[in-house]
Structure 1
Amino acid sequence: MSYDEWQSPLGGRYASKEMLKLFSARTRASTWRQLWIWLAEAEKELGLDIPQEAITQMEAAKVMSDDDFQVAAVEEKRRRHDVMAHVHAFGERAPAAAGKIHLGATSCYVTDNADLIFLRDGLSLLLPKIAKCVKKLSDFAVEYKAMPCLGYTHGQPAQPITVGRRAIQWIESLLMDLRNIERARSDLRFRGVKGTTGTQASFLELFHGDHAKVKQLDELVTKKAGFQKRSILSVQTYNRKIDFDIANVLASFATTCEHIGTDIRHLAMVKELEEPFEKDQIGSSAMAYKRNPMRSERMCSLARKLTTLPQGFAATYAHQWFERSLDDSAIRRIDIPEMFLLADALSILLENVSSGLVVYPAVVNSRLQQELPFMATETMIMRMAEKGASRQETHEQIRVLSHQAGAVVKQEGQANDLVERIRKEKFFEPIWTELTEDDLLNPAKFIGRSPEQVEEFVEEEVQPALEPYKNQIQSSRAAELNI
Structure 2
Amino acid sequence: MPLPASRTPLAELDPAPSLGALDGRYRGAVAPLVDHLSEAALNRARLHVEVEWLIHLVTQEAVPGAPALTEAEQAALRALVVDFDAATVTELAQIEAETVHDVKAIEYFLRRRLADILQRSAQSGQPGDVATRTAALAELIHFACTSEDINNTSYALLVQGAIIEVWLPKAHGLVDQLAAMAGELADVPLLAHTHGQPATPTTMGKELAVLAHRLTRQLRRVERCAYLGKLNGATGTYGAHVEAVPGADWQQVSRTFVEHLGLQWNPLTTQIESHDWQAELYADVARFNRILHNLATDMWTYISMGYFAQVRGQGTVGSSTMPHKVNPIRFENAEANLEVSNALLDVLASTLVTSRLQRDLTDSSMQRNIGTALGHSVLALDNVGRGLAGLDAVPEAMAADLDANWEVLAEPIQSVMRALAARGAEGMSNPYERLKELTRGRRIGQAELVEFVRGLGLPPQEEERLAALTPATYVGLAPELVRHLEQR
Normalization by structure 2: what TM-score?
Answer: 0.80
Q: Which residue of 2 aligns with 1:451?
A: 479
> Which of 226, 236, 242 in structure 2 is aligned with 1:204?
242
SS of residue in 1 equivalent to 2:200 = strand
2:41 corresponds in structure 1 to 27
The match for 1:163 is: 204
Contact 2:414 2:432 in 1 (8 A): no
Q: Matched residue of 1:235: which SS?
A: coil
Is 1:10 paired with 2:22? yes
Matched, 1:239 2:274: yes
Matches within 5 A, 1:48-447: 48=63, 49-52=66-69, 55=74, 57-62=76-81, 63-95=83-115, 96=118, 98-125=138-165, 126-184=167-225, 187-191=226-230, 193-206=231-244, 208-212=245-249, 214-227=250-263, 229-274=264-309, 278-317=313-352, 319-334=354-369, 336-375=370-409, 379=413, 402=439, 406=442, 418-421=445-448, 440-447=468-475
Query: Mean alpha-carbon deviation: is it higher for 166-175 or for 233-242?
Result: 233-242
Task: Assess, with a 3 A threshold, how the Cα gap between structure 1 residues 55 and 443 changes in structure 2: closer, same or farther.
Answer: same
Q: Which amino acid aligns with 2:257?
A: V
The root-mean-square deviation of aligned C-alpha atoms, in Å, is: 3.5
Report if the CA contact (8 A) 1:151-1:161 is conserved.
Answer: yes
Change (3 A) 1:45 1:65: same
**Can you list the C-alpha shifts for 1:91-149, whole angstroms capped at 9, x where unaligned?**
23332454442122221122111001012112212223222222222222122112111
Cα gap change, 1:398 to 1:45, in 2 (>3 Å):
closer
1:467 corresponds to: none
> 1:376–1:441: 8 Å Cα contact kept in structure 2?
no
Deviation of 1:194 (Å): 1.1
Tell which deviates more after alignment, 354-363 or 113-122. 354-363
The 3-state SS of whatever aligns with 1:157 is strand
Looking at structure 2, the residues matched to 321 and 394 of structure 1 have their Cα atoms a distance apart, in angstroms, of: 65
Q: 1:154 to 1:181 in 2, by over 3 A?
A: same
Moved more, 76-85 or 106-115: 76-85
The offset of 1:237, in angstroms, is 1.5
Q: Percent identity?
A: 20
Structure 1: which 5+ runs fail to align?
407-415, 463-483
**1:303 positional shift:** 1.1
Q: Which has the higher helix share?
A: 1
- CA distance in 2 between partners of 1:248 and 1:377 (Å): 39
Contact kept, 8 Å, 1:50 with 1:100, in 2: the verdict is: no
1:341, distance to aligned residue in structure 2 (A): 1.4
Rounded Cα–Cα distance in structure 1 between residues aligned with 2:156 and 2:368 = 13
- Structure 2 spans left out of the alignment, 5+ residues: 1-12, 119-133
Paired residues of 2:283 and 2:349 also in contact (CA < 8 A): no
Q: Could you tell me how far apart the structure 1 residues matched to 2:453 and 2:18 are?
A: 75
Q: TM-score if structure 1 supplies the norm length?
A: 0.81
**Shift in Å, 1:265:** 0.6
Distance 1:393 1:88 in 2: 85
* Partner residue in 2 for 1:479: none
Distance 1:129 1:276, change over 3 A: farther
SS in 1 for 2:145: coil
Equivalent pairs, count: 442
Match of 1:411 in 2: none
SS at match of 1:285: coil
Q: 1:139 to 1:65 in 2, by over 3 A?
A: closer
